[in-house]
Structure 1
């Protein structure tokens, strides 16, 4: 048995220790937000937060999560990045978007006011074939600005 937090809730799963977190999230816990893309941690469709860091769940073995905290897109809501993606129409087909939003949210946690270059660098690992990258970058910059504005005044 492996015990860890998922979206703030303690979960115990019985799985082969080498099972990828993605399979546990989808098949055991019913959380469908993270998607299978490449299975090698290269495309970004499956990214989630582990202890606040955006990681590919497809190549993160479940044994490595003992005592850690996992946040999926289902546990992220509401977040300024999600609203900014809607405002900027940054999600096209939607397949890659959950992983991109997770990475963007992690970026904003450690760098609340990123510029376009910082956002592009952070999202570089993510594969989006729809051509919405510029809108995504604008959305993340906007989310940083929006979140910053909420705390001011």
Structure 2
């Protein structure tokens, strides 16, 4: 019997605009490859079941929970991590409205909302609420996060 988990493959992942050639096992998640092999630690492990959103990255501009995506599934796609976002208005709004406390979930929220704003230039309140349910925060009451999102939309987000 062949053990597929012990047959590594050389793949190329395009992360934040840079091609990276890596050797990965077929069962390695994108989250762990980003963190352990590429030192992109902004995507964080949480539930590791796709529920909490702390591991959210963008794949071709859409939010994906990297803990439930295999690294080999990301071949041929553009992966964007929080490290690629430099001082965006959304990040500034999170600070302005204190949309964080411990900060553990913040990169996942920012990536998820960046995906929302990639898809909808002027999302409705209902769309914002729906997209926010994709991520958990154990510290805030979500109001500060919602205010940061609304402020970003009002200022023609970047």
Q: TM-score range by the shorter chain?
A: over 0.9
Size of the aligned set, in residue pairs, is: 149
SS at match of 2:156: helix
Runs ≥4 residues deviating over 4 A: none
Work out whether residues 88 and 139 of structure 1, in 8 Å CA contact, stay in contact via their aligned partners in 2. Answer: yes
Note if 1:14 corresponds to 2:23.
Answer: yes
2:120 aligns to what? 111
The unaligned stretches of length 5 or more in structure 1 are: none
2:134 aligns to what? 125
The unaligned stretches of length 5 or more in structure 2 are: 1-9
Deviations 1:36-87 (CA, angstroms, capped at 9, x unpaired): 0001011000000011110001111011011111000001223221011111
**For the pair shown, which has the larger CA radius of gyration, 1 or 2?**
2
Work out whether residues 114 and 141 of structure 1, in 8 Å CA contact, stay in contact via their aligned partners in 2. Answer: no
Note if 1:93 corresponds to 2:102.
Answer: yes
Note if 1:134 corresponds to 2:134.
Answer: no
RMSD: 1.3
Q: TM-score, normalised by structure 1?
A: 0.92
